[in-house]
Amino acid sequence: MHNGSLDRHIYDRTKGPLLDWSKRLKIIKGLIEGLVYMHKGSMLWIVNRDLKPNNILLDYNMNPRIADFGSARALSSDVAEEHTNMVVGTCGYKAPEYASRGVYSVKTDVFSFGVLVLAIISGRKNTILEKQGDTVGDLVRYAWHMWKDQRLHELVDPSLGNGYEIAEITRCAQMALLCAQEDPADRLTMTDVATMLNFESMSLSMEPKQPTVLSKIFSPTPHVLAPCWWVSS
């Protein structure tokens, strides 16, 4: 793809400012369209199981393409669950039930999508603090605190400056947090997400639940990231 992978833009100090909010929102909407098709529109319900910025490719017009289906699995329906003893994927983007028990469904991709959106908004990576009992990651926790305290402007990638609408950031962040819930039953479907991102269609009355409190004291600071420790089952 002409513009490479998403991670080369959102985590790069030189390219990051070139990816303004309108382009980032376009990428988010494109990912939603792709996932709705994978989860509802295709003949089989497809779970990618490794959604992350490295696997989102950008074409000449910055349209996103979901890539790397080497870990993907097909399900018989969008409500089906399967189990595997070989957990693949990337730490920080794997859903808790998949990382710990090998259980996957379309809700596995929904979790990863939620983290992806938070990364697109913030330009930050999500680190799992497993030794402290973390299951969702520091970026998700930080974003929840910023949403709860109505300080989402602090979550936004500084390279965006003031070039964004806080109402759009708020809607996208709340939607992302509703996707990145620890319990799959609390997560949205991608069809819900597609409806929710229509800014004029509905108000966001749903509130994301607070992530489980860590076993050690947590300070919602995005600047100090701990290593990620995990073991596949």
Tens of pLDDT, residues 143-167: 999 999 999 999 999 999 999 999 9
CATH of the domain at 25: 1.10.510.10
Which residues are known catalytic residues? 50
Binning pLDDT at 50, 70 and 90, where does residue 98 land? Answer: very high
Tens of pLDDT, residues 163-197: 999 999 999 999 999 999 999 999 999 999 998 87
Select from 27, 45, 23, 26 the least CA-distant residue to 36: 45
Binning pLDDT at 50, 70 and 90, where does residue 199 land? Answer: low
- From residue 193, give the alpha-carbon distance in Å to each of 63, 162, 171, 186, 215: 19, 26, 11, 13, 32
Looking at the structure of the chain, the number of domains it has is 1
Binning pLDDT at 50, 70 and 90, where does residue 79 land? Answer: confident
Pair 216, 132: CB distance under 8 Å? yes
Pair 19, 56: CB distance under 8 Å? no
Select from 85, 79, 104 the least CA-distant residue to 93: 104
> 222 lies in a domain?
no
Binning pLDDT at 50, 70 and 90, where does residue 200 land? Answer: low
> 143 lies in a domain?
yes
> 186 lies in a domain?
yes
Tens of pLDDT, residues 31-58: 999 999 999 888 889 999 999 999 999 9
Q: How far apart are CA 26 and CA 163, in angstroms?
A: 15
> 233 lies in a domain?
no
Most confident of 79-88, 134-143, 215-224: 134-143
> 70 lies in a domain?
yes
Binning pLDDT at 50, 70 and 90, where does residue 233 land? Answer: very low
Domain that holds residue 34: 7-76+88-196
> 1 lies in a domain?
no
